[in-house]
Each structure stands twice: as C-alpha cells, then as structure tokens.
Amino acid sequence: MRMSVKFISKKVKGVLYAVLVGLLFTFGFVGSKEAFADSELNRPEYHITPQAEWMNDVQRPLYINGQHHLYYLYNDDFSWGGNGTEWAHAVSTDLVHWERKPVAIEKYKTPYGDPWTGSTVIDENNTAGFGNNAVIALVTMPFEGQSTHLWYSTDGGNSFKHYNIVQHNPTGSADFRDPKIIWHEPTKKWVMLLAERDKVGIYTSSNLKDWEYASSFVRQDIGIVECPDLFQLNVDDNSDTKKWVLMVGGNGFNYGVTTGSSYFVGDFDGREFHAETPVKWLERGADSYTGVTWDAPYTNGNYRYFISWMNNWNYARKLPWDTFNGNTSIVREMRLKTTTEGLKLVQKPVWNLLDSFPTILDIKEEDIYTGQENIFKDFHGLSYSIEAQIDVGDLTEGKFGFSVRDGDGQHADLTYDKSINEFVFNRENSRIKIDVEEFKRPQRVIVKPKDGKIKLDILVDRGAVEVFINDGEYVLSNLVLNDLSSDGLRLWADGHVHLEYLKLRTSNKFTIL
C-alpha cells in the first residue's frame, strides 16, 4: 500500500503543540474538518504514532543485534493524494519503548518517485553483493504504474541507497505492489510475494535482483489483495508439526467484516502455496490493516510478533486529527493453535507491555449483579488495561459488559449476550461519529465460554481500544475518539456473573515516539 513528521526538537515541538492546542481550545474547530479541540492531548500513550501529521502501512520489522527495527510509511506534508511518503524508522529492545530514528528512505531522491510499501531482509551470506549482513529492502515505487525497487543498507538498516528496479511491471497494472521477501531454506532461494489485484504473485531468486515467476495464489472473494505475508509456525508450539500461513490484506464484505487481514493455513514448497483451510480473518475489529509479522532468534518457530496500522481506508481521510493522524496496534505475539474452529492464529499482547503497567486494582472472587454499584466508580483514566476471567455460568440468558472512555454521555461498549454467545463492540456513542457504514457498524463475534468462563484482555489508550478474548482467539481493534472528560469505566451485568479475577493497570504515561 501507499501513502506517514519532520524531526523537530522536543523543545520546539512542545512550544508548537502548546500554541496549537491553545488555539484549538479557543476556536473549537479548525478548517473544513471537524477537528478535536484537544487532538494532541488525545495522542495514545503506548501505541506508536507519528510525531506529527500522517502515517499508515507498517513495514516488516527486523531484529538486528538485540534491537527491533520498525519502519512505517509517513508523510510530513499531510497532503491527500500527493507529496509522497517515506520510510520512518524506530528501534526498540523490548517492543514497548520505541526510540525515533532519522528517516531511513527519503522521498523523491530518485527519478522513480516516493517509496511505498515493501519489506526488508538481512542478507547474511551476501547473495545480492552488498556485503554480508547487508539489509535489503524491496520497495514499491510509482514507476511503470507500480514497480519493485531494491534499496540496500550497509549501516544496519539506518539508511538506504537505491540500487535499481528489480521487478518491472509487465502490464503497467495499477495493482502490482507490496513486495514481501522471505528466505526458503529447503530450496535455498529467496521468495517474493507481490499483491496483484485479486491474486498473490510468487517469484523466486538466488540474489534478490533477478526474479523468476513461480506461481499465483488467486482469490476473488476478498477484494483487491494488499500487503501479503508468508511464514511458517509450529502448531501448538510443537516443532514436529509445522504449517505455512499466507496472510493478505483484503476486504471482508463477503464475510461480514470490513477490511482487515485474512489468512490461509496450508503448505508451501518454495514455489506454490496450497491452502488447506478456507479463508479466515485475523480479527473482527474495524481498525487493523496491513499487518506484518516478524521473528527473532529466541522465538524458535513457536510464535511471531505482529503489528498493524490501526485505521481503515474507508474513513481514514475523514478522521478529525489535526496535529497527527494514525497509530499502530500494540505489538502482539501470534501463535498457530488448534481450536474448536480448526487451526487458528491467536494473538496476545506482548507479555512485557502489561507487566510495565502498575496494578491499581486487583479483585478476586467477586460477584456482580443487576443494579449493583459500579466497582470502578472512583476510577478515572484514559490509558489502561483490564485483565479478567469471568464465570458466566449463572448468567443464563442475561448480559454483561464494559463501558470504556465513559463520561458526558460518551462511551464505547463491549457487551456479551449469553443467550446467543455473542460479543458486540459498539462505538455509536463515541464523541466522533464518522458517517461511513464501516465506522458505524458494531463488530460482532460468536464466543462460546470455556468451562463456563470468558477471559478478557482489554487495552484502552485514548484513541485506541484493543480487545483480546479467550487468550486471543478473538480480537477486536477499534478507534474510539472521545473528549478527555470521558475518562470513566463501568462494568455492569443483567443477571449474575462472577469475577474470578480482575486486574486494572494504568499506563506509565510514556508516549511512544
């Protein structure tokens, strides 16, 4: 995909933001868009955001010498449909705290335009000729419609130089983009995946420069495919059983979901991918797109890390931010598990994120009844997490739910209806309502209790809410744009539920990037 803040000193940044926020408070709304009067104060605390203006697609991170290197598309000019994107760069040792680095690939430094989405690999054995452990990026650029270009780095992925076009666009198609590269050990070949409208093109190479077409994986039920990914995982953390997963961004209209990451579990022989499952969707939330995965030496094939752009092209241009627009999801651990629905990718927050939050409420063995006083009545916060296990055995046909970012008539609601085993996430009472069906429509997912219990991890961070149900078998990621006064939290029940445990943690008030 295409379309992401010039680096200014923290002191200057603070002065500019203070002036801007003051003006916004004074005049309420700015320009032709309905803008948050306090948009900068609504910046998420523990999600990655651009320092200013626009961001979108995350590029697959790399693990180099103990650091995770993350890149994302970024546009400091913030002009819709113009002025290009470049590759912003950040590093982290713990996947929680990120340090901003200078832009890694600048725009308009070649005759071919600006860099769009691509992927990076470490060329350990110098197959491309730029040196052992050179970092190679294959990147879409708007030349010949869309073509694939090789950029290389000899300083550990901090800066890149343009080499050449390595995959021309044979038809001039407007959909020939988002290269993803992997190394296939059995065939000793590099493999590249390209998003080609309704199919994923698969190519092979021995040197990352000369590519041979191998096959295509065609789907006509998920719209225009984007940002493919291909990886192998152990099933149930068992190294004796491995499966390949092909993941692509797509449109879930035919399956009752909006745009997001779809995936197929199957087999890959180095040239062709054979799906063994029907299409599955990584989550049911509206705001998780162009997801990417990566590993590290210590993951041992049991899990991969996952991060995505937390937005939706159906309404991204309509969001009311003025000082910045866009954020990522949190980093998640992704595993391939056997479930009652077959093999499934499950996701959980990276473990050290929640451990970095201080616990302010720790409840064990407490009952919640209809009409009971809200146990969170004294809590006020904008960025926090909830970890809970709830026994719904006595709920019969009743409901229970959490209302987050609650106050002044604004709130977002996560409700479980025991009569139909359905969770619903509804943001119709949020401050900002975008008049687009994909934004207005509640997200629904059928969840059957396990031994009569539901496990929840709910992460709330100012403009972002991520919900993980039953150890991440089901995920809902959504933007929630409320006033700062909407800082309450409610738990309610229509009937009786039993809290086996509940932990409420607040963030450490660190702003990432």
Residues of the chain with pLDDT > 70, as a percent, come to 91
Q: How much is the mean pLDDT over the chain?
A: 90
Give the pLDDT confidence score for residue 36 in this predicted structure. 54
Q: What tokens were used for 180?
A: 């993803």
Residues of the chain with pLDDT > 90, as a percent, come to 78
For residues 447 and 470, the answer to whether their CB atoms sit within 8 Å is yes
From residue 352, alpha-carbon distances to 43, 70, 97, 297, 331 in Å are 22, 18, 10, 18, 10
pLDDT higher than threshold 50 for residue 211? yes
Q: How far apart are CA 89 and CA 67, in angstroms?
A: 12
DSSP 475: E
> Quick one: average pLDDT of 235-249?
98
Output 31 or 53, whichever has higher pLDDT.
53
Place of tokens 């495919």: 225
Strand partners, 280: 263
pLDDT higher than threshold 50 for residue 2? no
Q: Smallest Cα–Cα separation from 464: which of 348, 394, 383?
A: 383
pTM of the model: 0.91
pLDDT higher than threshold 60 for residue 9? no
> Quick one: average pLDDT of 49-78?
93
In terms of DSSP bridges, do strands 324-325 and 53-64 run parallel, antiparallel, or are they unpaired?
parallel
H or E stretch covering 26:
helix 10-27
Give the pLDDT confidence score for residue 252 in this predicted structure. 75
pLDDT 10s digits, 127-152:
999 999 999 999 999 999 999 999 99
Give the pLDDT confidence score for residue 397 in this predicted structure. 83
pLDDT 10s digits, 147-206:
999 999 999 999 999 999 999 999 888 999 999 999 999 999 999 999 999 999 999 999
Q: How far is CA 140 from the centre of its chain?
A: 20
* Active centre residues (catalytic): 57
Q: How far apart are CA 482 and CA 427, in angstroms?
A: 10
Q: What domains sit in the chain, N to C, each tagged with a CATH number? A: 354-506 (2.60.120.560)
